[in-house]
A and B are shown apart, each in its own frame.
Chain A
Amino acid sequence: MSVRQNIRDFFHGAAYGAYERELRMQAAELNDMFLLLCYMEVVGLPNPATLYLLDVYPYILEQFHLWHKRMGMDRSPLGNLPCC
């Protein structure tokens, strides 16, 4: 790795490092919002768009997995929504 690259990384870290946690949190929150909108029925809220989300489910499965891990739960907390 060149010195130049090192210097660039240093300044990048100095400038954004402090915000990284914040940005990650924000991204996670937006993720959760989307998940909630997709899985509203699982938490007991009616969702008129359920059928139109069926083909999207496989794509967000992994996201769901990351969510329950992040929330400190090893397994899916929703019995009727199996995960791992």
Chain B
Amino acid sequence: MTQISQMGSLLDKKVLFFGGKGGVGKTTCASATALAASHAGKRVLLVSTDPAHSTSDIFEREIGPEPVELLPNLWGLEIDGALESQRYVANVKTQIKGLFGDHILKEANKQIDLAASMPGAEEMALFDRIGGLIRGEDTRFDLIVFDTAPTGHTLRLIRMPELMEAWIRALSRSRQAMLGIEQDDKTDPVMISLTDRLEGLREFRARLLSPRVSAFMLVLVAERLPIEETARAIEQLNEAGVNVGGLVVNRILPATSPDPFLQSRHAQEVVYLDEIDRRFAKHSRVRVPQLPSDVHGVKTLEALSEMLVPLARQP
């Protein structure tokens, strides 16, 4: 079995993402890693960003939009775009409440509601919440493990800080040019707000791109389509400058089955496993066998985390 050689150091990161094709076991791997880190003495927050949350199913309890303690040193959080966007809007409304007169507030609130109902607002609110977590706004946690939505969606999210930064920069340049003619831009509230945003986005991006802080783990099974998707994901992560922490090859069938059906599946799997070793030789890989039963509940998760992180507890 190839082991993820720097798994121990992976747990020393501040942010870990788990991504991959739908159904390959991202949630399970993310949960098991979070559990291992919590055993290693880290205060861990496991965050699900997939609109179809399944962390609550694994831990067999309700997890909501605020961190809840699942086990000692392990918290869970499920982020929901619609809810985040409502919260964001409510927050802005209270923020501006004391600053303006009734007439302006009435009109401004109408505009705010309109803007918040635009397509993309939910994704953006989700992005903002994730950004806050990555910047380390919640100081209760040492490590944040993201159980992400299937690959495409997540890669988009990872490119967003860059895109947003460019946008806000263009806006603040435009504002600056406009003010330059008659006013000072240090005291302009619009300029101050834009500058704050820009700083937040820069920090978000810096932490996302720092290999010391963040790593992206890719989960796959030994089949054609997941292999191709993983290859594409690695390409795009490299392009975005995000550190690929390693691969988890999940659900490998036992070689010693007398059953001819399973034997034939296994023979095919060996071909794909070779291909994985060949194509992703540059990255650390760990193989996880198919378990006799579904992973849910802490017991099975613990067994899995032993398999996944054999080196994590070594000094």
Contact = CB atoms under 8 A, between A and B. Distances in A.
Interface residues of A, number: 31
Interface in B71-130: 85, 88-89, 92, 95-96, 99-100, 104-105, 107-108, 110-112, 114-116, 118-121, 124-125, 128
Contacts of A82: 107, 110-111
B120 A59 contact: no
A48 to B, nearest CB: 6
Given A34-B175, A51-B121, A80-B114, 6 more contacts: A27-B181, A48-B164, A51-B125, A52-B128, A55-B193, A57-B108
Interface residues of B, number: 43
Contacts of A58: 96, 99-100, 104-105, 107-108
Contacts of A61: 104, 107-108, 111
A31 B181 CA distance: 11
Interface string A19-63: 000010011001101100110010000111111111111111110
A81 interface: yes
B114 A81 contact: yes
Interface of A: 23, 26-27, 30-31, 33-34, 37-38, 41, 46-62, 80-83
B182 A27 contact: yes
A51 B194 CA distance: 12
A49 B181 contact: no
B100 A50 contact: no
A70 to B, nearest CB: 15
